[in-house]
Structure formats: structure tokens, C-alpha cells
Amino acid sequence: MKLEEHGSLWAFVNVLSIKSGDKDIIRFFNTANALHKNFYENEMPKEAVEVSAEDIEKLIEKLRRIS
């Protein structure tokens, strides 16, 4: 599978969430998206980034269990 656009990432995450029955995949991917945006805009305080990073670790664990 080749995902070339940001929108296709969201579609893929949506399918993973539906097939696994795990809505947290969407929630955590949304956090990843916010961190990606913050990389360019630098709006989030350090503490918010640290809390968000914890969710990304959870997302990675969930994705590893799917594959």
C-alpha cells in the first residue's frame, strides 16, 4: 500500500480503527497530527508535547499489535 497524501493517511487510520474496533487509534493519530503541526508552528508548551508523546507511544504499541 502506498500512501502519498496526508488525506490518505487519515483514510488508512480510519480503516485500521474500524477493522480493529479501536477508536483510540484515531484519537492518538490526531495527537500525532497535532505534534506534526506543532513541529512547524511551535505553539505547544513543552509539557503539552510531553503528554502528547505518551499518546504516541500508545499508538505505536497498538499499531504493532495490528501488524
Q: Please give the pLDDT value at position 67.
A: 65
Distance set, CA 4 to CA 8, 32, 53, 55 (Å)? 7, 17, 24, 24
pLDDT over 90 (residue 47): yes
Read off φ and ψ for residue 43, nearest 5 degrees: -100, -30
Average pLDDT for 50-65: 96
pLDDT digits (tens, 9 = 90+) for 7-41: 899 999 999 999 999 999 999 999 999 999 999 99
Task: Please report which confidence band the pLDDT of residue 5 belongs to, taking 50, 70 and 90 as the band edges.
Answer: confident
pTM, to two decimals: 0.85
